[in-house]
Amino acid sequence: MAIPVVHHADYITPPNPATRYRWSKNQMVRDLLRGEGMRIEWIEPPAMPLHWIAAVHDPAYVAEVVGASVPKEKERRIGFAVNEPVARRAVRVPGGTWTAALTALTRGYAVNIAGGSHHALHDTGAGYCVFNDLAIAAHRLVTEGAVARVLVVDCDVHQGDGTARLTADMAGIATYSIHAASNFPARKATSTLDVPLPDRTSDTAYLAALEATLVPLLDSFRPDLILYQGGVDPYEGDRLGRLALTERGLDARDRFVARAARSRGVPVAGTLGGGYGTDIAEVAARHVRSILTFAGAYADA
């Protein structure tokens, strides 16, 4: 069965030499997945209606983004300028995560090849994140009654601080974050369950911590859907990571989450998440490997 992959041309924006963020990663991920041919089913998402974004973010901040008039101090927190292409992308990506979630409810697994923007806060973006697609999609899914309970499983090397803060008082949404304790952000939020790990945590220790903490939460919260932030920045060579997972360790992480979800009958919608390095083609290939590994493990579980 083909893997449902959500993508839109708005995800690919012109390069900006003024930032360290590598916009070409999304295009490379798309192109590598195109090379998989019939294994991939492409789905084009709608833009997220602004009232759903404003239900999670400050409406004044939403207007700043949509109007490409974000103040410089907020752009510094985000890490790049919010011009018109970036604004279009910011509105489209939450629609992609929501579309992946709806698709997963009928197909078991789907992935948005953008998003996982877990640092965006109520009135500002941060850490290369403009709008928090995870919080927006989860809120809409629960509010509209598509599901009763959503669990955000965040395995990016950085804590999902924005997601935790934005959803803290939202019924039906729980957040799990396993991350490097000493990495960004300096000021951590409180997730439903946080698993902070010491620098250079290896495959064995990481996987033991993941199993010991995620399984009890799955069994107690009993989600109807998982939104998976499967960033590949826990990789030992990642430019912004502080953990020491090998590529086999990332494979094992993805297989574990996929099988834990599938064995409990829980659909999963994935997002791209973080991954950084000087060789962007290598980083993109790591993302694609993660997507294919997760999809294969979910299908075979």
Largest CA distance in the chain: 48
List Cβ neighbours of 17 (8 Å cut-off, separation of 6 or more).
none
d(CA 240, CA 278): 11
CATH assignment of the domain containing 115? 3.40.800.20
d(CA 175, CA 182): 19
How far apart, in Å, are the Cα atoms of 117 and each of 130, 136, 291? Answer: 7, 10, 17
Count the domains in the chain.
Answer: 1
Note the helical H segments in the chain: 24-34, 50-54, 59-66, 72-78, 84-107, 133-143, 161-167, 203-221, 247-263, 280-300
pTM attached to this predicted model: 0.97
Domain holding 76, by residue range, is 3-14+21-300
Q: Render each residue's pLDDT in the chain as its tens digit; 301 residues.
A: 899 999 999 999 987 766 667 778 999 999 999 999 999 999 999 999 999 999 999 999 999 999 999 999 999 999 999 999 999 999 999 999 999 999 999 999 999 999 999 999 999 999 999 999 999 999 999 999 999 999 999 999 999 999 999 999 999 999 999 999 999 999 999 999 999 999 999 999 999 999 999 999 999 999 999 999 999 999 999 999 999 999 999 999 999 999 999 999 999 999 999 999 999 999 999 999 999 999 999 999 8
